[in-house]
């Protein structure tokens, strides 16, 4: 029997009075799967994750209709801390590790909502997944490379032993080999029992890792289906894989665009979260 761990039903979200960021979005995330959310800039991907994690109000957004259930419990009116306690983990956009704190302190911060008796086991599991972090526990997180910081952000979220892990564009601004490594880590996390909702602009990586995917366009769900089938679909090829996804030229172009978006996001974060 397929158990639905996360269920989004007819979800609409807006920012302020005028920006309708999501409109009537519905889909389900079955237990033990990886579901990818694809979409171009401004499609509503981050908004979707904020709605699920209860953090919309931090961005002056609100759910105007619809429901979200996590493992059978309605969570769309809960505060973020209560949602985390129900074992929903989130790796935020731009990683947001605590740069002045050590790697170990970052991990411990991720385990604060975890039952005290479970914390040591959670930490062992994270260090087993990321041996490189184990070698650098006492170093300030700000000294890690971009890829290592992404691993730390994932490790920090895994300290909560989440049933469902939300990942917001883990590939953003990283080199192709690191993106491949992150894809493998996501698969490994899933094989160890965590259900994953993966928001990505890097459609090739996301569709390689995911079982199923949904595509958002200007706040609406436009496509959904099996990840392998979507990879072959002409619409996806044209819109997200450029029809020549494997070419180096396309990879370079994607990399350049990603870098621009990292910069844009850094600037916009300052405005929106102030």
Ligand X SMILES: Nc1ncnc2c1ncn2[C@@H]1O[C@H](COP(=O)(O)OP(=O)(O)OP(=O)(O)O)[C@@H](O)[C@H]1O
Q: How far is the CB of 79 from ligand X (least distance, A)?
A: 18
User: Which stretch of DSSP H or E encloses residue 70?
Assistant: strand 61-70
List binders of ligand X among 52-81 (CB under 6 A): 59-61
Q: Which of 29, 43, 52, 91 binds ligand X (CB under 6 A)?
A: 43
The answer to the question of residue 86 lying near ligand X (CB under 6 A) is no
Report, in Å, the least distance between residue 113 CB and ligand X: 25
C-beta separation of 160 from 87 below 8 A: yes
Helix ranges restricted to H, the chain: 45-53, 80-85, 103-110, 119-129, 131-135, 146-158, 176-191, 203-209, 227-232, 234-239, 248-272
Tell me: does residue 41 bind ligand X (CB under 6 A).
Answer: yes
From CA 245, how far away is CA 179, in angstroms rounded? 14
Q: How many residues belong to the site for ligand X (CB under 6 A)?
A: 16
Sheet holding 61-70, edge to edge: 19-30, 4-15, 61-70, 73-74
Q: Which is nearer to ligand X, 20 or 132 (CB)?
A: 20
Length of the chain: 274
Helix (H) or strand (E) holding 198: strand 195-199
Determine the Cα–Cα distance for residues 151 and 170; give it in Å rounded to an integer. Answer: 9
Which helix (H) or strand (E) segment holds residue 188: the answer is: helix 176-191
Of the residues 15, 30, 80, 269, which one makes contact with ligand X according to CB under 6 A: 15
- Tell the smallest beta-carbon distance from residue 11 to ligand X (Å): 12
- How far is residue 7 from each of residues 3, 4, 18, 37, 71, measured CA to CA in Å? 10, 7, 27, 14, 8
Contact status: 170 vs ligand X (CB under 6 A): no
Q: Which residues pair with 223 in a beta bridge?
A: 215
Under the criterion CB under 6 A, does residue 44 sit at the interface with ligand X?
yes
Among 23, 45, 156, 231, binds ligand X (CB under 6 A): 45
Q: Least distance (Å) from ligand X to the CB of residue 235?
A: 17
Q: Rule CB under 6 A: say whether 18 interacts with ligand X.
A: no
Please, what is the minimum distance in Å from the beta carbon of residue 38 to ligand X?
9
CB of 21 to ligand X, least distance (A): 4
Shortest Cβ 96–ligand X spacing (Å):
14
DSSP state for residue 108 in the 8-state scheme: H
Residues 191 to 250: which contact ligand X by CB under 6 A? 201
Integer Cα distance of 269 and 272 in angstroms: 5
Count of beta carbons in the 10 Å neighbourhood of residue 67 = 15
Among 19, 81, 120, 143, binds ligand X (CB under 6 A): 19
**CB closer to ligand X, 191 vs 259:** 259
Among 6, 11, 21, 25, binds ligand X (CB under 6 A): 21
On the CB side of 238, CA atoms within 13 Å amount to 3
The stretch among 14-22, 77-85, 140-148, 226-234 that binds ligand X (CB under 6 A) is 14-22
Longest dimension (CA), the chain: 51
Contact positions vs ligand X (CB under 6 A): 15, 19, 21, 39, 41-47, 59-61, 201, 272
């Amino acid at each position: 029997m397929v158990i639905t761990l996360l269920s989004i039903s007819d979800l609409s979200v807006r920012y302020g009075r005028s920006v309708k960021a999501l409109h009537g979005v519905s889909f389900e995330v079955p237990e033990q799967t990886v579901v990818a959310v694809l979409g171009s800039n401004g499609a509503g991907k981050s908004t979707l994750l904020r709605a699920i994690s209860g953090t919309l109000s931090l961005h002056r957004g609100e759910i105007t209709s619809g429901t979200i259930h996590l493992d059978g419990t309605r969570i769309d009116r809960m505060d973020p801390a209560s949602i985390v306690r129900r074992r929903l983990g989130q790796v935020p956009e731009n990683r947001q590790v605590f740069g002045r704190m050590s790697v170990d302190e970052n991990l411990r911060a991720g385990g604060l909502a975890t039952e005290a008796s479970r914390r040591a086991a959670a930490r062992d599991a994270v260090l087993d997944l990321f041996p490189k972090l184990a070698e650098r526990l006492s170093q300030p997180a700000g000294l890690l490379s971009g890829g290592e910081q992404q691993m730390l952000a994932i490790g920090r979220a895994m300290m909560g032993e989440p049933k469902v892990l939300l990942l917001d564009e883990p590939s953003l601004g990283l080199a192709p080999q690191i993106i491949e490594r992150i894809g493998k880590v996501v698969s490994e996390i899933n094989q160890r029992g965590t259900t994953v909702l993966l928001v990505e602009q890097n459609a090739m990586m996301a569709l390689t890792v995911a079982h199923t995917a949904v595509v958002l366009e200007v706040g609406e769900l436009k496509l959904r289906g099996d990840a392998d089938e979507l990879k072959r679909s002409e619409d996806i090829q044209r819109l997200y894989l450029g029809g020549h996804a494997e070419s180096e030229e396309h990879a370079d172009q994607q990399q350049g665009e990603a870098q621009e978006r990292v910069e844009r996001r850094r600037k916009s974060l300052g405005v929106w979260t102030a």
